[in-house]
Structure 1
Amino acid sequence: MDSDRYLTPQWPHSALLLIDVQHDFVAGSSVVSGTAERLPAMARLAAAFRAAGRPVIHVVRLYEPGGSDVDAVRRAAVEAGAHIAAPGTAGAQIAQPLLPQPVELDCTALLAGEIQTVGPGEYVVYKPRWSAFFRTALDTQLRTMGVNTVVVAGCNLPNCPRATLFDASELDYRTVLATDATSQTTPERLADLTLIGVTLADTATIAQALAAQQDTPPQIRVVAAVVVDAAGRTLVVRKRGTAAFMQPGGKLDPGESAPEALRRELAEELGVHVAPPDISPLGTYTAAAANEPGHRVSAELFAVTLRAEPSARAEIDEIAWIDPDRPGDLELAPLTREVVLGLLRRTCE
């Protein structure tokens, strides 16, 4: 099906969302039936993501006794003082089998909207309602890490995992439900999710897919500018200590969007300040990395209009303007040679 190209999981760009797997819901004051039984599968799933070097994000509830910022179903009970995943209590903590080492939640920071780091590529996010995307920084965090596929597991399907999958689909993520690592599944509920394009897979299948992608070259996420002058030539740069000319740009800093990163790189490397309206997305393309053997770059390309003359700065040793049809004998990076020049030639046809 043609729709598969928008739905098929892309495992090298995936992240695991483990939802509400906290002591109170596993074996405490508000047990959700079936969650404890699914804990071993959840732990295997988390281990598979860690082994593949992919992000693991624990999404948690924190209900302050007497507070009102609570989903409507539990609001009256919590306002009356009920302790359900209450900040600072053992019941709020993440079930230990899911963590790489013992972790104490920083509830003050989480309630303030901060993301807690609990290991390499492993984080905790607090959500105030059903969906992990509602009033959280999750979407920003995922996009910063280059994630386009979310795998959802945890507690319990009719509520938070389901709401998270719907919101992820609304945000154009590819979505997967780990069926044997999520509590309260039924055939009817699973069938419902397939109608919005959710891929259903068990832990073993997901682990195999993650292991298979480790045999592919690691990817480096970058942003790159395609600048064309009035004569139809495109701008390329050569970094200090390297031989190949390539598109201006570079890697993203933590928390940056792709356009922000590109504007920063152009200012640092070429001394030009680009306004947001002068940047237009061209898509994401991959190619062999020019300066990192055994790696590939996943480059978000942007057409950029410059309002000032660029000059070589920072780590840039040399700049050049080349004709896409007759690039000459310059050594060009694979992304420039195989992707950018082809795009420019097709544009001129």
Structure 2
Amino acid sequence: MEKKKGALIVIDMQEAFLNPASPLYIAQAAATVPLLGRVVEQARKDGIPVFFVSRIYRANGTDVEACRYENWLAGGRCLASGSTGPCSVEAPEELRPKAGDYTIIKPRFSAFFQTELDLILRRLQVDTLILTGTTTPNCIRATCYDGLSLDYNVTILEDCCSSRNEAVQRANMEDMAFIGAEVIPAAEFLEKGLSKGNPLAEVRASVAQDKTPPQ
């Protein structure tokens, strides 16, 4: 059976979500940085393309989500282009793009929504997303569901993702696993890489052999 070809997607690992001084702070996010840094390095070694998907807002707030606007305004207009400090677009050293990596700026929660991600993945013949970053119920989940809808296999490294608390994290991981995502610990990816099964390839092979007339 055809092997999986994966791409590592790192979502919103920026100071504005990692720093306790930021109004957008996610309580679990900073703790995932060291392990996620190891995953990024392993992906590079294995020839898996790495995509850093981030948020940048315009200073006048015209592209900020309505549900986040008041908090964004009160918090000092976080995530402005070129910003530095606790409310900024800066990333930890372990999670900064290097030569050969891809950077995507997304305007909303899903890494696919109005971005070039799908186009680039298909040009690279990627069939499997490896999702990491923050937050699990928003950007990870939205990207997972869009990825499944676009006919990608989806693997989620659960301890490289984060939520505002553990109850939210667990509930969302259970939902994504139930809908068809593979949820695994980062240690499994670091030791074995992507799992051998390829559900997408299996379905394609079955459909190609099925002689049932289309309706």
Q: TM range, normalised to the smaller chain?
A: 0.7 to 0.9
Q: From 119, 137, 144, give the equivalent of 1:140.
A: 119
Post-superposition Cα deviations, 1:91-119, rounded to whole Å, max 9, x if no partner, equal: 102221123xxx6xxxxxxxxxxxxxx41
Question: Distance between the aligned counterparts of 2:28 and 2:194, measured in 1?
Answer: 28
Shift of 1:76: 3.4
Question: Distance between the aligned counterparts of 1:211 and 1:82, measured in 2?
Answer: 41
Q: From 13, 16, 22, give the equivalent of 1:24.
A: 16
Conserved? CA contact 1:148–1:174, under 8 Å: yes
Higher helix share: 2
**In structure 2, do the counterparts of structure 1 residues 96 and 74 end up closer, same or farther at CA, with 3 Å as the change threshold?**
same
Question: Distance between the aligned counterparts of 2:174 and 2:194, measured in 1?
Answer: 27
Letter in 2 for 1:46: V
Conserved? CA contact 2:6–2:194, under 8 Å: no
Conserved? CA contact 1:65–1:81, under 8 Å: no
Alignment partner of 1:125: what SS? Answer: strand
Question: Distance between the aligned counterparts of 2:194 and 2:178, measured in 1?
Answer: 28
Give the structure 2 partner of residue 251 of structure 1. Answer: none
Q: From 151, 165, 168, give the equivalent of 1:172.
A: 151
Question: Distance between the aligned counterparts of 1:161 and 1:211, measured in 2?
Answer: 18
Conserved? CA contact 1:22–1:60, under 8 Å: yes
Conserved? CA contact 2:29–2:134, under 8 Å: yes
Q: From 197, 208, 212, give the equivalent of 2:180.
A: 197
Conserved? CA contact 1:168–1:175, under 8 Å: yes
Alignment partner of 1:180: what SS? Answer: strand
| 2:96 counterpart of 1:119 | no
Please give the TM-score of this superposition, normalised by the length of structure 2. Answer: 0.80
Shift of 1:82: 3.1
> Unmatched 5+ residue regions in structure 2?
197-203, 210-215
Any residues of structure 2 matched to 1:53-92 within 5 Å, and which? Answer: 53-78=47-72, 82-90=76-84, 91-92=88-89
Question: Distance between the aligned counterparts of 1:23 and 1:66, measured in 2?
Answer: 20
| 2:7 counterpart of 1:15 | yes
RCO comparison, higher one (Cα < 8 Å, 6+): 2
Shift of 1:80: 6.8
Give the structure 2 partner of residue 42 of structure 1. Answer: 36
Please give the TM-score of this superposition, normalised by the length of structure 1. Answer: 0.51
Letter in 2 for 1:177: I
Shift of 1:79: 5.8
Please say which of residues 170-179 and 22-31 is displaced more in the overlay: 22-31
Question: Distance between the aligned counterparts of 1:32 and 1:81, measured in 2?
Answer: 14
Q: Alpha carbon RMSD of aligned pairs, Å?
A: 2.5
Letter in 2 for 1:16: L
Any residues of structure 2 matched to 1:1-349 within 5 Å, and which? Answer: 10-11=3-4, 13-27=5-19, 28-29=21-22, 30-78=24-72, 82-90=76-84, 91-99=88-96, 118-120=98-100, 122-184=101-163, 186-210=169-193
Conserved? CA contact 1:68–1:78, under 8 Å: no
Question: Distance between the aligned counterparts of 2:26 and 2:74, measured in 1?
Answer: 21
**In structure 2, do the counterparts of structure 1 residues 168 and 83 end up closer, same or farther at CA, with 3 Å as the change threshold?**
same
What number of residue pairs does the alignment pair up?
A: 190
Question: Which structure has the greater CA radius of gyration?
Answer: 1
Conserved? CA contact 1:65–1:78, under 8 Å: no
Question: Distance between the aligned counterparts of 1:67 and 1:125, measured in 2?
Answer: 19
Question: Distance between the aligned counterparts of 1:75 and 1:22, measured in 2?
Answer: 18
